[in-house]
Every structure is written in structure tokens, then in C-alpha cells.
């Protein structure tokens, strides 16, 4: 009897974990697609770091939390702030501010990757700053996140947990049917008397 009770608890735990994983992955994929590839949790955007320019603080393949900045907030940054900025139309960079220069109404930031030998060649116009790093990093999760954002990754992260749930459900149904068959084959005390 203890074996059956243990089996029921294990069943419930596995089912719960698989359901949570399935819904979490589905929610992340939907949020990712709805936000145009910029997942946001509690006001923080998650960015994937693809280079080692900020190591050792931010490792290659990490996911970092940044706070989006707009308007005049972009002009209020200072030395030591780690900012994410548009380097070109399709490339974001996260580097540390090492100098702030004012030129009329414009603010320019000199930036440098912590792991780089020299500052970046082009100053960053305040209008190109999109976010400020908040010090929260999850190492290596960026590799998974990058794959999940690809078309193949979206399919894989939805289909694999779905197949796991389906396979586990088939196993549970098969065990229940086998248990019913065994119960029918076993003679009861009422027919023996």
C-alpha cells in the first residue's frame, strides 16, 4: 500500500513540474513574440550578452536585467553606469560609461567594455541609450534564450514539453488500464465463499 501512495505522490510531482514547465515556456515564447523579441519582467528588460567585453562582471552568454530609459533620463547618467545603447541600426552594446561630455543640448558618453584595453572609438549620443544595467545577471542563460527566440527554438521549446506531457499521460493511462485489468482478473472473496 505504501508503494502505491508513493507512486501517486511521484505522479503528482512529475505532472505538476511538467505542466509548470509547459506553461512557463509557452508564456515566455508568447511574451517574447508579443513584445517584439524584448522580454520584460516587472519593468526590467532581459538582454542576452553575446560578447566578452564586460567580463568578468558579465560573462558571455549571460542574460542581464536592464531598465529602459527615455527622454531626459538618458542625459542624467554618470561615470560608472553600465548602459545599453544602439551602436548601429541592428546592434545593441552594453558598456560602462567612463566619461560624460556636454556640447550644447547634447550629451555624449565615452564608454568602454571592462575587458577591453581601450575606450570605444565613437562616443555615444544620449539619444542612443536604451537602457541601464541593474546588476542582475544569470550566466549562460543567454545561449538558451537566443535559441528560444529563433523559429526552431520556439518550436522546440513548445513541442518538446508538449510531447513529454503527452508521453507521460499515455504512460499513466496505460498503467491505470493495466491496474484495472489486474483487478478484474483477481478473484474476490465474495465469489470464493
Kindly list the distances between the CA atom of residue 110 and the CA atoms of 67, 69, 71, 126, in Å, as whole numbers in the listed order: 20, 18, 19, 10
Element of type H or E holding 134: strand 129-138
56 and 110 inside one domain: yes
Q: pLDDT tens for residues 40-83?
A: 667 777 787 888 888 888 888 888 888 888 887 788 888 888 98
Taking the C-alpha atoms of residue 11 and residue 67, their distance in angstroms, rounded to an integer, is: 41
pLDDT of residue 145: 66
Please state the rounded mean pLDDT for residues 2-10.
77
Question: Would you mind telling me the total number of residues written for the chain in this entry?
Answer: 193
Judged against a pLDDT cut of 80, whether residue 113 lies above it is answered with: yes
Residue span of the structural domain in which 117 resides: 42-139
pLDDT of residue 36: 59
135 and 156 inside one domain: no
pLDDT of residue 28: 66
Cis peptide upstream of residue 56 (ω within 30 degrees of 0): yes
Residue 145 lies in a domain: yes
67 and 128 inside one domain: yes
Taking the C-alpha atoms of residue 41 and residue 141, their distance in angstroms, rounded to an integer, is: 15
112 and 150 inside one domain: no
3-class SS at 74? helix
Residues annotated as part of the active site: 51
Judged against a pLDDT cut of 80, whether residue 21 lies above it is answered with: no
Cell 567594455 locates to: 113
Last residue of a domain, one of 96, 117, 139: 139
Taking the C-alpha atoms of residue 172 and residue 99, their distance in angstroms, rounded to an integer, is: 63
Residue 189 lies in a domain: no
- Quick one: residue 121, left, alpha or beta (phi over 0 = left, psi -120 to 50 = alpha)? alpha
47 and 131 inside one domain: yes
Count of domains observed in the chain = 2
Cell 545561449 locates to: 143
29 and 82 inside one domain: no
153 and 75 inside one domain: no
Question: Euclidean distance between the first and final Cα of the chain, in Å?
Answer: 25
Taking the C-alpha atoms of residue 107 and residue 100, their distance in angstroms, rounded to an integer, is: 7
Residue 181 lies in a domain: no
131 and 170 inside one domain: no
Whether the predicted model's global pTM rises above the 0.75 cut: no
CATH of the domain at 51: 2.10.109.10
Amino acid at each position: 500500500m505504501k508503494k502505491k501512495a508513493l507512486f501517486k505522490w511521484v505522479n503528482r510531482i512529475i505532472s505538476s513540474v511538467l505542466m509548470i514547465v509547459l506553461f512557463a515556456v509557452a508564456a515566455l515564447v508568447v511574451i517574447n513574440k508579443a513584445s517584439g523579441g524584448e522580454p520584460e519582467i516587472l519593468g526590467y528588460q532581459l538582454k542576452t550578452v553575446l560578447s566578452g567585453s564586460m567580463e568578468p562582471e558579465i560573462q558571455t552568454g549571460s542574460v542581464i536585467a536592464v531598465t529602459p530609459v527615455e527622454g531626459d533620463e538618458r542625459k542624467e547618467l554618470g561615470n560608472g553606469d553600465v548602459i545599453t545603447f544602439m551602436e548601429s541600426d541592428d546592434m545593441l552594446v552594453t558598456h560602462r560609461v567612463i566619461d560624460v561630455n556636454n556640447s550644447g543640448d547634447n550629451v555624449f558618453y565615452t564608454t568602454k567594455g571592462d575587458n577591453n584595453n581601450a575606450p570605444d572609438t565613437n562616443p555615444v549620443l544620449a539619444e542612443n541609450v536604451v537602457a541601464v544595467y541593474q546588476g542582475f545577471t544569470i550566466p549562460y542563460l543567454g545561449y538558451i534564450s537566443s535559441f528560444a527566440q529563433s523559429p526552431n527554438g520556439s518550436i522546440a521549446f513548445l513541442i518538446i514539453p508538449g510531447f513529454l506531457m503527452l508521453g507521460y499521460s499515455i504512460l499513466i493511462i496505460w498503467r491505470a488500464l493495466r491496474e484495472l485489468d489486474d483487478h478484474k482478473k483477481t478473484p474476490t472473496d465474495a465469489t470464493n465463499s
